[in-house]
Structure 1
């Protein structure tokens, strides 16, 4: 037998032996009804952007109920199940200046009074491998649903996840519809076909690595890598090192806004970030550096490629993803549970970006953001798990990097009141 075939056979046998030593998720299925779950999240959301330099402000205020009903899997070698996810919302007040992906609008620009969205899915599971088809909220670095608005972004298609080997999770999927948070049309982003694949491997309690890829037809190809290492120092302190990077190449039909090249077939970007976090007791401090290379910034979200596809540290109101931009961040977080107020936390950060290229204007634009967020989660009683999150960003940029190129000077407030209710 050739050496290559022997090696392949050995790997397959070893994988089978490893798999057999771990419990099968499907073998532990209790039943279609017995494992079913249902919940609703009531959210009151407010997002206000106070724009500067004569740019019109935007303000959105609305209420929603996000529902998820998920059956268990039937028993047997292959289990089957179904589910529903969706949201029903209504505006609070006139919302004459609604924007920022919060509330859908009529053709005349007025905000919807009320609206509903969502869909269903079917699923099947064999051993530790699950395949689902239908409406999804995606949490994949190269194709991630926006969950930072009133309601999430939905993708429609097929998604497979497999955990047959301990520590290794494989992902593959194909999606043909993309509905942004403020869209009624289930394919409002006009997605043709997006294929994703990837793997995440946990070596031990300290080291985790991952790779994911995306091929969006006639739009772009994207690759993502990550390595995360946790170094314990003593009983209540440690260091976390994180390295992440994306590489994107756009096709001629794709949309970008920051390119400095006129060759639409040669638009490229590589963005990487390195962060180190020191945590001790209730405190943590993070230092991060992020850098773009190529002739285009990391113009994600422009081609039905997920409006939250940025798993990088320097991402708040601004993502610091300008053409050739470099940025540095200092972040501090405290959990007041260590001071007798469990459920209360505060995060503050300052990010500064420089060396941004703006076509025909400059090679040295700058931007900066001062970010603060306070969150409180109820710990017990009838309102257990209800949370209030208040977030503020103070953002400023140089004259060449205003709304002609990116966000423009902005003071932003976001307030989210979340009340989860479990049905069963």
Structure 2
């Protein structure tokens, strides 16, 4: 990885004499500095209906901070940064869970906790190399940002934009810290080498590909292509197709007993079409699984949000051989004098889920189903001292077959189980400098 980084920087230096560069516009270490804090109050409640899992309820307050220096001027620019969070629980939180907050050895939620780390960056032309603590947005290695605080990775990240409309990335992460972890290496990640590219073909078509090799765990590949076509009367039609291919090594942690001795694989893909006009947006999506098991993610230090599929709400509809059909509608209330207020409603139905006995996972004993009704209301302040502050209320009603709920504990299942879930998020961003 050190050799690769050196080669990338040398090539960027050579190319920089031909292409306009970001580094040539560097403002300086102090002059280009940026700092912000996001004050978040979060509440997550899951009322389990599967007869096996306990209800969970969590509430806490946090301050998520991000401080970055500017890049020094010159052929090669250098910068430093700090990311982290400081949180306190609200109430006893006796039944906390779902990666919301850390717990001590007795199972009690911490009263308060602080996490984070630093990073350093070097930039030549339009190529930046960063080492340290980071939040990853890669589809194959995505940090969970849907909890109180983000999931962190530590390691090397390289991004190059030397060719117009083309972004190349690569790197290696060696530590993974979930949102409810205190230790930066709590997930036991040895090595996750990743690579990828995204390209803007024109104003209407975009494509991307990413891959990751998590040592002794899995190989995963992701591809996506999207197309947007403007229509009459300021309307537009968007088409999107994506897919993951994953191969787990024998012994990797999955939901299937065979993984202890066998290498298993999964392919999940989805397509969606959305129509947008004025305050209305409606989308129809289809998703399909195939392979030895369902799409299993997160528990191999591969990112708790590595599920960029169209039918992902509370459930990801990622069971073995599961097919799912989703319908989503979004309405913006700006025509009612309430710019910033959005309502989203969706219904997803999944079927044909192969259920097998845990001790005999090759024998299918049921074709299960699940369905979810999702609603969310979000208001974002549009101007004034509280600009960009937001309040989000989200509710999911998820029901699935008894076998997929895994109420007896004897079946192969990676379903969440029948659940009523509430999430309430209040975000107040503050720009420091």
Same-fold call, TM cutoff 0.5? yes
**Counterpart of 1:253?**
251
The DSSP-based 3-state class of the residue aligned with 1:265 is coil
Question: Is the CA contact (8 Å cut-off) linking 1:284 and 1:334 kept in structure 2?
Answer: yes
Counterpart-to-counterpart distance in 1, 2:97 and 2:29: 41
- 1:46 maps onto 2:29 in alignment: no
> Structure 1, residues 82-134: CA drift from partner, whole Å, max 9, x if none?
00000000000000000110010011111100000000000000000000000
Aligned residue number for residue 357 of structure 1: 354
Using the alignment, how far apart are the partners of 1:362 and 1:226 within structure 2?
Answer: 34
Aligned-residue offset at 1:234: 1.8
CA contact (8 A) 1:19 1:165 kept: no
Query: Aligned match of 1:329 in 301, 312, 326?
Result: 326
TM (norm. structure 2) is 0.92
Count of aligned pairs: 409
Question: Structure 2: how far apart are the matches of 1:30 and 1:362?
Answer: 64
SS of the equivalent of 1:401 reads helix
- Give the Cα–Cα distance (whole angstroms) in 2 for the partners of residues 258 and 244 of structure 1: 25
On the 8 A contact 2:16/2:125 being kept in 1, the answer is no
C-alpha contact (below 8 Å) 1:258/1:323 kept by paired residues = no
* Contact 2:253–2:259, Cα closer than 8 Å, also in 1: no
SS at match of 1:338: helix
SS in 2 for 1:337: helix
Aligned-pair CA distance for 1:235? 4.0
Match of 1:219 in 2: 217
Q: How does 1:21-420 map to 2 (within 5 A)?
A: 22-54=19-51, 55-258=53-256, 261=258, 264-360=261-357, 362-403=365-406, 404=409, 405=413, 406-420=415-429
In structure 2, how many angstroms separate the alpha carbons of the residues matched to 1:51 and 1:319? 17
Structure 1 runs (4+) greater than 6 angstroms displaced: 15-21
Summarize the Cα distance change of 1:17–1:233 in structure 2 as closer, same or farther, 3 Å threshold: farther
Structure 2 SS opposite 1:411 = strand
Distance in 2, Cα, partners of 1:422 & 1:171: 29
**Counterparts of 1:126 and 1:16, CA distance in 2:** 6
Q: Contact between 2:354 and 2:368, CA under 8 Å: does it hold in 1?
A: yes
Partners of 1:258 and 1:202 lie apart in 2 by: 39
Q: Distance in 2 between matches of 1:111 and 1:253?
A: 31
CA distance in 2 between counterparts of 1:186 and 1:337 reads 43
CA RMSD of aligned residues (A): 1.6
Partner of 2:8: none
Which residues of structure 1 form unaligned runs of 5+? 1-14
* CA shift for structure 1 position 23: 2.2
2 CA distance for matches of 1:16 and 1:149? 40
Q: Does the 8 Å CA contact 1:143/1:305 hold for their aligned counterparts?
A: yes
TM-score (norm 1): 0.94
Q: Mind listing any 5+ residue stretches in structure 2 that lack a counterpart?
A: 1-11, 358-363
